[in-house]
Amino acid sequence: MKYRVTHNTGYKYSAPASLSQNELFLFPRKTATQEVLESSLQIDPVPQYLHSRTDYFGNSAHVFMVHHPHCELTVSATSLVETGKPYVPEPNSTQPWEAVVQRLIDHKEYDELEAYQFTFESPLITLGHSSLVYITSSFPPGMPVLAGASDLVRRIYTEFSYDKTASNVETTVEQALASRKGVCQDFAHVAISCLRTLGLAARYVSGYLETIPPPGKPKLVGADASHAWISLFVPDHGWVDLDPTNNLFANETYVTVAWGRDYGDVAPVKGVVMGGGVHKLSVMVDVARQN
């Protein structure tokens, strides 16, 4: 599949802002099944400082600063991406989860050592008793690791309600587990917390998912949104992406932007502003299939 992804973010301030400094994770990254053909970034007003870098996890990041008075700020990132369908091993053919945990603890191979860092707590993902209780039924003794993860994702999909009003960026794993409501970020955090509680390696993935309109209806420009899912380390196969929001293994309709320990590592736009009074935020995302 080939997609042109446009992500527009706008801020309107009730009073002039004297300074705005932001970090962006908006450019898709190259993966085994994804090629980035082009990417561009436009910022208005033009920043006095703009720097691009590759972060610790290999993601493409931009940092910019506008330090003269401004009442509006717009950030527009556009990328042309070609995706392929990832290989997904037969879930029941993967190793028992206990054996995977032991391999991560021993981390004799480089990929196991690299994955081991994703078995621990992170700033936004705690490993508590509630996560352990929730995951237990999906991982009985001897359960193949990918089969257990697939069941966990299915349960989150069926037992949690998608509700944009039920959470925000500060919602904890415990709160999401208690309310059984939230958005893709919450569902990913819950799934990762559960998997890490067992000692498995799971990371947070941010990106985009093509929205398919109902039959006979046109696709609305800007109807798409940033998305989040999880990636599980499966020894001898590598990382396998699963989506708790849609109960799917990630396929060629998913565009990967970045991955890290949790949302805080890969938030699309985050920063600070001095002055500005009250601000109004607008976000428009479009994932357009190309011929």
Full set of structural domains in the chain with CATH: 2-83+267-289 (2.60.40.2250), 91-265 (3.10.620.30)
Which segments of the chain have a pLDDT < 50? 222
Sign of CA dihedral 156, 161, 162, 163: negative
> Given the structure tokens 């849609």, which residue do they identify?
246
pLDDT in tens, 2-31: 999 999 999 999 999 999 999 999 999 999
**pLDDT at res. 153:** 98
The answer to whether the beta carbons of residues 249 and 241 sit under 8 Å apart is yes
Identity of residue 164: K
Phi, psi of 128 (to 5 degrees): -110, 180
